[in-house]
Amino acid sequence: MPHKKVVIIGGGISGIKAAIDLYNGGIKNTVILESSSRLGGRLLTIESKEYPGITYDFGASWFHDCLNNPLLEKAKSLGHVAYYFDDGKCVYFNEDSKNIDKWKFETILDELITYGSYIYTKNPEKEDLSVKALSEEYIGKYHDTLTSEQINLVLGAIRMWTELWLGESWDLISGKYFFNDSGHLGRNAFVKNGYKNVFINELKELPRIYRDSSIKFNAHVTSIDYGNPERILIKLKDGRRYTCDYVISTIPQSLLKISNPKDECFVEWIPEIPPTIKNVLPDVSFSSLGKVVFEFDECFWPRDVERFYGLSKNSPLPDQTKPWDYPTILINYQVINNIPALIALTQNPLSKYIEDLPSSEKSSKIWSIFKPVISQISTIGNEIPKPKAIYHTPWNNNPLARGSYGASLVGTQDPSLVIKAFVEGHQDRIRFAGAETMDDSSNGCAHGAWFSGKREAEFILIQERSKKSKL
Amino acid sequence: MPHKKVVIIGGGISGIKAAIDLYNGGIKNTVILESSSRLGGRLLTIESKEYPGITYDFGASWFHDCLNNPLLEKAKSLGHVAYYFDDGKCVYFNEDSKNIDKWKFETILDELITYGSYIYTKNPEKEDLSVKALSEEYIGKYHDTLTSEQINLVLGAIRMWTELWLGESWDLISGKYFFNDSGHLGRNAFVKNGYKNVFINELKELPRIYRDSSIKFNAHVTSIDYGNPERILIKLKDGRRYTCDYVISTIPQSLLKISNPKDECFVEWIPEIPPTIKNVLPDVSFSSLGKVVFEFDECFWPRDVERFYGLSKNSPLPDQTKPWDYPTILINYQVINNIPALIALTQNPLSKYIEDLPSSEKSSKIWSIFKPVISQISTIGNEIPKPKAIYHTPWNNNPLARGSYGASLVGTQDPSLVIKAFVEGHQDRIRFAGAETMDDSSNGCAHGAWFSGKREAEFILIQERSKKSKL
């Protein structure tokens, strides 16, 4: 049974970065256990079937925090990642209007966001309300200073930003923590030729020999036994076993929540899942920010608009999914890659609905929902052509993801405390990494995952150095 | 020689509020010493000479922090202050363009502001740079991600917001503290019928008998003697004297800085100005946000635009004042009061230049600077009519103001520490109030002055109660 100094569970960017830094710090006896047959985790670039050479990112698409993003800096210096700052013209629209002036609601939106943060600063004991309920509370208090148009637009705008930032319905998202978010560090840059190139930039930092020998595919961990204070025992589904001094789990938090031993992704912790983690798992939730790509023969929408922000004023009914029930963001691939395609961002429950559609009617159902919305940005009237291809993200139904990333639902505890439990780990040898373990603006982002891998490698290197110095 | 429990120096809104709360708290033996012949301090409403019944505010014009503004709440409940939320359409323009799309620079502006704050969070020891220098540092670092148009516009926009928020040139304003400002609590509401109505709302809370007997006009304080631990001696220019247990100084910080005993507004502190105040005075500075009102016969600019934001890309030369040298904000009185007038906001050194013009050439010189700028918003071409009246604010040359309000200049210490010295006061009996003594978003605002008066009244009431309970 091989013994490793560190077993890294998960071959996403956090695991890869941890392995790189451990290696460079002198800890070369590590292994990366990837449960699937590909690396990258929630970084996933797919190829267009219609436009050769064109790719779409189903996972991360942007460099966020561009004032402090090491992945962007590396892309700049290496030069083979194509990206651009998508800070051009955007258009707001809804069922009634093809172009809503932003000034009609932006000051109100700022005030609503300030309200959502200020009200909990003034009264930290105030019950957590959903973004929807908190927005309605604001409207209730200040409706005498607002026109009905302003009320409609500001509710539409806050709903859109909440749902398409976090991938979950605004009546489920915690208002207390959503409004308190201090935002990103700088602009965003869209990756044009596939985030896989960003990932490969990292992967290449591991020596060839390490990559060939120490990254294990289809290495599905079924149990982590830390009953022995000397070594941790890791068992895989196929019978392989490892012992190690440290484990870095980059298992998505959505999978750590699984408590049904019959679930194919259940991981058994022996003697038990670390209690500090167990305590916070009820407060962990994965939403599903999805994407639907529509490829057309020709561009029939404005070529100078980066993104179309579609607002909705409807409340979706259970068991029905109609056009205009959900806000959406349409990303204009004509601007990005000179290809007549639109990428629609979706949120739960729409993301889930789309994934669950039987394949026989998938394309027609998706198109029936989006056709009226996309018609609204058309410059050729409502008779718009059918897309020649539709692709959508798989995150909800992917058993190894079960959503796109973490989101704080209403009523859960302070996300900082949840993150703290993961950062502290257990017994200084059970460590956690991944985008959801970052307590800053990189949380949930690719560079956040990278930072977390760096953090855990550093933790272990310091531990080991201090052990040596004690000898 | 009359003895007062509290002598309040200054009949602005902070002094009035202190008197109200002391009175209502049972301390009725107070006096307000106002050095001029009018109350209100830097609240100053003037009447139009051309349009009867129309007023302009030369001091505060807006309710800021509308989510937490007691003056607005009172205006709402009493009903005779006319105000409105001026969150309508605004237009950016410059010498080259009558209408600059905001999307062309707004994301960059956000990033620049984030940069200015983030860089000092990362490195608190970094030397303070002016807003101008810090903006140029940002451009220097990120110019490869920006177009030259974006660079021009973002520099123009940050300069405009800095200078017309603080009333001082962007190369004098501290970047470290400007960018770190967390902003206002909610929207702004413009007072349409004169801030004097807001002031009167307060004044009326003092009983008639108090107002008639205990507010002294032309009561110019020349010395504050606290050498006697039992009582403070206040001397006035006209020979009147008061003794008191407490003094609340609402003297503008710009006047406290005066060290020349020959200055007409010099106040002698005996034995000396409290040392904690003396320490921070070098870091106190008053800028001059000015206003110039142009009244016309007819409106020749768009009637649906609230404010016109004029950007400048020129660096003014010493001893020259040319059109387009300074950014300006033009407030559309046609929208506000249905009157063909524009209010231009000005900053130093332009505010000072305007005040210093000899009256014989004042109107023509002012118009020569503003005509090209105002022509740019004209809908009737460049041949625009002359204004029939021009008014401007008097703050620089008013010996009792010497500027409009406080601003942190580059290289000065943390404004929070300056404020702390004023809030702490001296010996628990020398107290300071005024808009510049607030360490939150109300700093420099009318409601900030009000909050500070409330704070000092409360301090004294608590002191007195605790003395009584000890007896």
Identity of the residue in B85, B115, B145 whose CB atom sits nearest the CB atom of A85: B145
Identity of the residue in A102, A108, A114 whose CB atom sits nearest the CB atom of B185: A114
A38 touches chain B (CB under 8 A): no
The alpha-carbon gap from B150 to the nearest alpha carbon of chain A, in Å, equals 10
CA B94 to chain CA centroid, Å, is 26
Which residue in B63, B65, B67, B190 has the most chain A C-beta atoms within 10 A of its own C-beta, making it the best mutation to test that interface? B67
Are A88 and B67 an interchain contact pair (Cβ–Cβ within 8 Å)? no
User: For residue B365, what pLDDT is reported?
Assistant: 97
> Which B-chain residues 178-197 have CB contacts (< 8 A) with chain A?
183-187, 189
B chain contacts of residue A108, beta-carbon cutoff 8 Å = 87, 187
B chain contacts of residue A89, beta-carbon cutoff 8 Å = 101, 103
A108 touches chain B (CB under 8 A): yes
B85 touches chain A (CB under 8 A): yes
The alpha-carbon gap from B332 to the nearest alpha carbon of chain A, in Å, equals 16
Report whether A345 contacts A164 (CB < 8 A): yes
A145 touches chain B (CB under 8 A): yes
Are B108 and A145 an interchain contact pair (Cβ–Cβ within 8 Å)? no
B87 touches chain A (CB under 8 A): yes
A chain contacts of residue B103, beta-carbon cutoff 8 Å = 87-90
Are A186 and B114 an interchain contact pair (Cβ–Cβ within 8 Å)? yes
Per-position pLDDT tens, chain B of length 471: 899 999 999 999 999 999 999 999 999 999 999 999 999 999 999 999 999 999 999 999 999 999 999 999 999 999 889 999 999 999 999 999 999 999 999 999 999 999 999 999 999 999 999 999 999 999 999 999 999 999 999 999 999 999 999 999 999 999 999 998 778 999 999 999 999 999 999 999 999 999 999 999 999 999 999 999 999 999 999 999 999 999 999 999 999 999 999 999 999 999 999 999 999 999 999 999 999 999 999 999 999 999 999 999 998 888 889 999 999 999 999 999 999 999 999 999 999 999 999 999 999 999 999 999 999 999 999 999 999 999 999 999 999 999 999 999 999 999 999 999 999 999 999 999 999 999 999 999 999 999 999 999 999 999 999 998 887
d(CA A315, CA A324): 9
A282 touches chain B (CB under 8 A): no
> Which residue in chain B is spatially nearest to A87 when comparing CA positions?
B107
Identity of the residue in B67, B111, B185 whose CB atom sits nearest the CB atom of A187: B111
The C-alpha angle B278, B284, B285, rounded to 5 degrees, equals 145
Question: Over the range B316-328, which residues count as b (16 or more CB within 10 Å of their CB) and which as e?
Answer: beeeebebbbbbb
The alpha-carbon gap from A90 to the nearest alpha carbon of chain B, in Å, equals 8
Identity of the residue in B90, B101, B111 whose CB atom sits nearest the CB atom of A67: B111
Are B68 and A118 an interchain contact pair (Cβ–Cβ within 8 Å)? yes
d(CA B329, CA B249): 34
Are B187 and A85 an interchain contact pair (Cβ–Cβ within 8 Å)? no
Integer-rounded Cα radius of gyration of chain B: 23
For the record, the structure tokens of A100 come out as: 């809503």
User: Which residues, given as ranges, of chain A have pLDDT below 70?
Assistant: none
Are B185 and A68 an interchain contact pair (Cβ–Cβ within 8 Å)? no
Q: What is the 3-state secondary structure (H, E, C) of chain B?
A: CCEEEEEEECCCHHHHHHHHHHHHCCCCCEEEECCCCCCCCCCCEEECCCCCCCEEECCCCEECCCCCCHHHHHHHHHCCCCEEECCCCEEEECCCCCCECHHHCHHHHHHHHHHHHHHHHHCCCCCCCEHHHHHHHHHHHHHHHCCHHHHHHHHHHHHHHHHHHHCCCCCCEEHHHHCCCCCCCCCCEEECCCCHHHHHHHHCCCCHHHHHHHEECCCCEEEEECCCCCCEEEEECCCCEEEEEEEEECCCHHHHCCCCCCCCCCCEEECCCCHHHHHHHHHCCEECCEEEEEECCCCCCCCCCCEEEECCCCCCCCCCCCCCCCCEEEEEHHHHHCCCEEEEEECCCHHHHHHHCCHHHHHHHHHHHHHHHHHCCCCCCCCCCCCCEEEECCCCCCCCCCCCEECCECCCCCHHHHHHHHHHCECCCEEECCHHHCCCCCCCCHHHHHHHHHHHHHHHHHHHHHHHHHC
The alpha-carbon gap from A104 to the nearest alpha carbon of chain B, in Å, equals 7
A9 touches chain B (CB under 8 A): no
Are B115 and A186 an interchain contact pair (Cβ–Cβ within 8 Å)? yes
Which residue in A105, A111, A150 has the most chain B C-beta atoms within 10 A of its own C-beta, making it the best mutation to test that interface? A111
Identity of the residue in B68, B108, B183 whose CB atom sits nearest the CB atom of A87: B108
Identity of the residue in A85, A101, A115 whose CB atom sits nearest the CB atom of B67: A115
How many A×B Cβ pairs under 8 Å?
61
For the record, the structure tokens of A196 come out as: 């896989």
User: For residue B183, what pLDDT is reported?
Assistant: 82
Are B110 and A187 an interchain contact pair (Cβ–Cβ within 8 Å)? yes
A342 touches chain B (CB under 8 A): no
B chain contacts of residue A189, beta-carbon cutoff 8 Å = 145
- Residue A150 to residues A90, A143, A156, A325: CA-CA distances in angstroms? 19, 10, 10, 20
Q: Where are the alpha helices (DSSP H) in A167-290?
A: 175-178, 196-203, 208-214, 253-256, 275-280
User: For residue A262, what pLDDT is reported?
Assistant: 97
Identity of the residue in B85, B103, B185 whose CB atom sits nearest the CB atom of A118: B185
For the record, the structure tokens of B167 come out as: 């009333």
A217 touches chain B (CB under 8 A): no
- Answer positive or negative: Cα dihedral of B54, B58, B59, B64: positive
Peptide bond into A349 cis (omega under 30): yes
A139 touches chain B (CB under 8 A): no
B110 touches chain A (CB under 8 A): yes
CA A349 to chain CA centroid, Å, is 16
Identity of the residue in B67, B88, B107 whose CB atom sits nearest the CB atom of A118: B67
The alpha-carbon gap from B187 to the nearest alpha carbon of chain A, in Å, equals 6
The alpha-carbon gap from A87 to the nearest alpha carbon of chain B, in Å, equals 6
Report whether A18 contacts A8 (CB < 8 A): yes
User: For residue B180, what pLDDT is reported?
Assistant: 82
B302 touches chain A (CB under 8 A): no
CA B220 to chain CA centroid, Å, is 22
> Which residue in chain A is spatially nearest to B110 when comparing CA positions?
A186
A chain contacts of residue B186, beta-carbon cutoff 8 Å = 111, 114-115, 118
> Which residue in chain B is spatially nearest to A185 when comparing CA positions?
B114
User: For residue A134, what pLDDT is reported?
Assistant: 98
User: For residue A354, what pLDDT is reported?
Assistant: 97
Supply the DSSP symbol for A95. S
B108 touches chain A (CB under 8 A): yes
- Residue B281 to residues A9, B174, B253, B255, B436: CA-CA distances in angstroms? 59, 16, 8, 10, 12
B chain contacts of residue A88, beta-carbon cutoff 8 Å = 103
Are A110 and B187 an interchain contact pair (Cβ–Cβ within 8 Å)? yes
Are A107 and B187 an interchain contact pair (Cβ–Cβ within 8 Å)? yes
* pTM of the shown model: 0.95
B266 touches chain A (CB under 8 A): no
Are A185 and B101 an interchain contact pair (Cβ–Cβ within 8 Å)? no
Supply the DSSP symbol for A302. -
